[in-house]
Structure 1
Amino acid sequence: MKRRFSPSYVAAGVSRRPLSSTISSPVAAGVSRWPLSGLGLRAWTASVMVISALLAVSCSRQPQPVPEQTGPLTVSASLSTNSIHIGDVANLTIQIVHPREGQVQIPELAHGKEVIVRDRQSREEAISDDSVRTVLDLKLTSFAVGIHTLSTGFVSFAQSDGQTLSQPFPFLTLEVASTLSGEQTNPRDIKGLARWPGVFPRWLLVFLLIALIAAAAGFLAKNFLSKPRTILQMPPPPPPHEIALAALQQLLSKGWIESRNIEPFYVELSGIVRRYIEDRFHLKAPERTTEEFIREAANSRVLSPAHQSLTYGFLEQCDLVKFARHQPESDDMRNAGAAAERLVRETIPVTIDPVKEAGS
């Protein structure tokens, strides 16, 4: 009797055997039964290995570039790898062909921890007189485990005439695997600041700090007190007669007598005499004019009769100049200055030397 063959077996190059000598095996190539022994068993094993290799190649994770579109705006993109570990870097290359005049805009690729753009560089390549290829090189990384789509947006190109061209961004995914093993695949969150354990009790540190400050203060105080100190004594102010004699000498050196500058000379001369009498005899009369003050001082008992006569003569010359518009000669002006100097010198207080007094 003539045997009949199934098309599936013929396609596989295997002859049919009786049903009692076969086993069932699911095969993607369409073969449902294979012999148990001999050549059929070896062919069945080889077929399984070939099919497994084909499946492994088809499931390879090496990325394939997305085909370009056609038209005035074309976009293509490729990843150096579409499977990385957390923190690793994948290189993304985007090529955009567009007209020369205009501006290219790509969608935002970074979003949260899923996709992070670490670096971005761009360059342009001339294709023809009307077309340019813009190449974008981006370095991507991720800190979230899973499969992430780079973008579902559009690449747009704004032309110089106001029109806008757009193409969908190529569909690309990035698979991020954890470097951890077991059930814990997601990285744990950062812990808070660790508290440094105290070696000494806090109260002891405070006590040591106070003791250190006290020791430093004591050292500085001892150093300051041990240094010899010089007490500065201010020199006593010059006596009234020295001040008056110096002022008279300065008045005579101004040359007012020779230039016949009469009124200013007598005004300053009477002021010198007044200040001397105030300081020498401790007489204060701010409500009196200079002439009134000197006249009252001449009538007081603080001056001797000789000094009173000298003071009256000085006042008489001052009154003649001030009220009678008297024009004294240069000699009269010199005599007035000499009278004032004589009044000062004759009223200098007599100082007693304690050494001479003790010797006598």
Structure 2
Amino acid sequence: MARFFSNKKKPFYVPFLIFTVIILAMAAGCNHSKPLALKPGENIRALLHLEYTGPFYIGTSIPLILTVESRKGVSYEIPQYDGKAAGSLELKIKQPLNHETFSEGSRQSIRYVLSGWHVDQFTIPATNLAYETPSHQHCTIKLPSIKIKLASVLPKGKSEEELLSFNSKEIKPPLGLEPHYSMVKWFLFGALFLIIIGLLLHIYQRSHTEKTASESYQEPAHVIAFRRLANLKMMEISGSAGFKVFYSELSECIREYMKNRYSIRALEMTTEEFLMHLTTGIYLNPEQQSWLKSFMQQSDLVKFANHSPSLAEAERALQQIEQLVDSTKELPVQPDIPGNPVPTTL
């Protein structure tokens, strides 16, 4: 990830990701809920009001909003504004708006849509909202009455004949359902979430592909071994400690070579396991197996038994390791060149 953001040329989706994060943060800030308005010792509070003050006409929608705030553990019954409870108005829709939960309680809002079919002064009577406290005490709070006046769209002071000849406007086609903007909001959030997930997966897949491509090439085993042997040739050996370091490096070099060349866990094996694996396999011929066994045993004596070989023996061991690597190295595959005859045997 650090490599990705350090590129001089930023991919096109980096500004888009930053813009998306800013939009989500702004949306989260805009949707921040107001705290509850409950006073200390107050278990419940309810407010019933008209969504707008009118004027209202015959057949038009009359929206009422009921908001109830309650402490945690308080249960209550939502009143049904229909029939007499609605002052002879007709209940068309009962729509839950939102339900917010807080640490100290909750807030619930419900929208009632009423309508009337004759000109009159209507009164939604006061009603009681019953609730139960956490201590199982049954109580009620009173919701106030609301007066609603319905007017006619016809002009006043006209006779019946004049009203029948009144040039009213053409009937409009039926309106569609009220849009659910909350669904649009969640749809947009879902789309943004899917876009972000898709971009993150694309970034991960791209970085993983680049990493795999970079790791797919590995130096040949003999190249690595020859480089280590060249460093050992320049090493100055002094005393038993110097021989111990020299033979440790030399034995690790041949183990690493066998690991890279034949894909065996040579660095994790003991000397006995390493020799047994090579002598029972098809990697080395009998002469190479015998010499490698002799070298590994001598190397263990130098490393663990304080054996001090001569400088000539150390140089000869390095040369023999170099010959072993050279004789077992993997040869490059020669591509077929068009035009060159392919030898065949009859």
Normalising by structure 1, what TM-score?
A: 0.34
Superposition TM-score, scaled by structure 2 size:
0.35
Higher relative contact order (CA 8 A, sep 6+): 2
Q: In proportion to residue count, which structure has more helix? A: 2
Q: Which has the larger radius of gyration?
A: 1
